[in-house]
C-alpha cells in the first residue's frame, strides 16, 4: 500500500518536528507521520482558541503538508489496490477540511480530521506485530 521510496520523510522533517526519521523503517516513518500530523492539529487548535492566528496557520499548514505531502504521497496507488485508493480520497478530504478549518477558524473541523487520523493510526498500529514478524524486527521505537 505504501511505496518504500515515498514516505514523506522530507515533508515530515521540513515541518520542524524533531524525530529520528533517519534510520527508521518504512513502518516507523508512517507512524511518525500520523503522530506529527495529529500533534500539529492539536497545537493548531490551541492557538486557534487563543487567537494566535499566525501560529495557528503555521501548524495547520504543517498538518496539511504531512497529510497531503507525506501520508497521501506515500501511497502506492498501483499496488495498494482499493485500500490505497480509498485512503488517497480520504487524505484529500482531510487536507480540504484542514484548509477550511484554518480559513473559518473552526475547531470542530480540526477535531473531525484528528478523529479520522486517529482511526487510521489505530489500524496502522494494529499491524505492528505483523510487520515485526515479517521483517524480523524485535522492537519498533518512535519518538515525537
The CATH code of the domain that includes 85 is 1.20.120.340
| Distance from chain centroid for Cα 73 | 11
Distance of alpha carbon 69 from alpha carbon 11, whole angstroms = 6
Residue 105: count other Cβ atoms within 10 Å of its Cβ. 13
The total domain count for the chain is 1
Task: Please check the confidence at residue 128 and state whether its pLDDT lies above 80.
Answer: no
Distance of alpha carbon 117 from alpha carbon 39, whole angstroms = 11
pTM equals 0.77
Per the domain annotation, does 41 fall within a domain?
Answer: yes
CB 32 within 8 A of CB 23: no
Per the domain annotation, does 140 fall within a domain?
Answer: no
Comparing C-alpha atoms, which of 120, 117, 58 is closest to residue 109?
A: 117
Q: Tens digits of per-residue pLDDT, 71-118? A: 999 999 999 999 999 999 999 999 999 999 999 999 999 999 999 999
Q: Tens digits of per-residue pLDDT, 48-59? A: 999 999 999 999
Helix, strand, coil % over all residues of the chain, rounded to 5: 70, 0, 30
- pLDDT confidence of residue 136: 43
Within 8 A by CB and 6+ apart from 27, the residues are 127, 128, 131, 135, 140
- For residues 131-135, average pLDDT: 52
Task: Please check the confidence at residue 65 and state whether its pLDDT lies above 90.
Answer: yes
Per the domain annotation, does 132 fall within a domain?
Answer: no
Task: Please check the confidence at residue 3 and state whether its pLDDT lies above 80.
Answer: no
- pLDDT confidence of residue 27: 84
Per the domain annotation, does 54 fall within a domain?
Answer: yes
CB 20 within 8 A of CB 142: yes
Question: Domain containing 42: what range?
Answer: 25-125
Q: Tens digits of per-residue pLDDT, 5-63? A: 545 555 554 554 444 566 678 888 899 999 999 999 999 999 999 999 999 999 999 99
Per the domain annotation, does 105 fall within a domain?
Answer: yes
Per the domain annotation, does 73 fall within a domain?
Answer: yes
Amino acid at each position: 500500500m505504501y511505496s518504500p521510496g515515498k514516505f514523506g520523510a522530507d515533508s515530515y522533517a521540513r515541518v520542524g518536528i524533531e524525530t529520528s526519521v533517519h534510520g527508521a523503517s518504512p513502518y516507523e516513518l508512517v507512524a511518525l507521520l500520523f503522530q506529527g500530523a495529529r500533534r500539529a492539529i492539536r497545537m493548531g487548535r490551541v492557538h486557534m482558541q487563543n487567537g494566535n492566528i499566525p501560529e495557528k496557520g503555521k501548524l495547520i499548514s504543517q498538518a496539511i503538508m504531512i497529510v497531503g505531502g507525506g501520508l497521501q504521497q506515500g501511497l502506492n496507488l498501483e499496488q495498494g489496490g482499493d485500500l490505497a485508493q480509498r485512503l488517497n480520497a480520504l487524505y484529500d478530504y482531510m487536507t480540504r477540511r484542514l484548509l477550511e478549518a484554518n480559513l473559518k477558524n473552526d475547531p470542530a473541523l480540526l477535531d473531525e480530521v484528528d478523529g479520522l487520523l486517529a482511526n487510521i493510526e489505530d489500524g496502522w498500529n494494529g499491524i505492528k506485530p505483523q510487520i515485526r514478524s515479517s521483517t524480523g524486527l524485535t522492537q519498533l521505537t518512535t519518538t515525537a
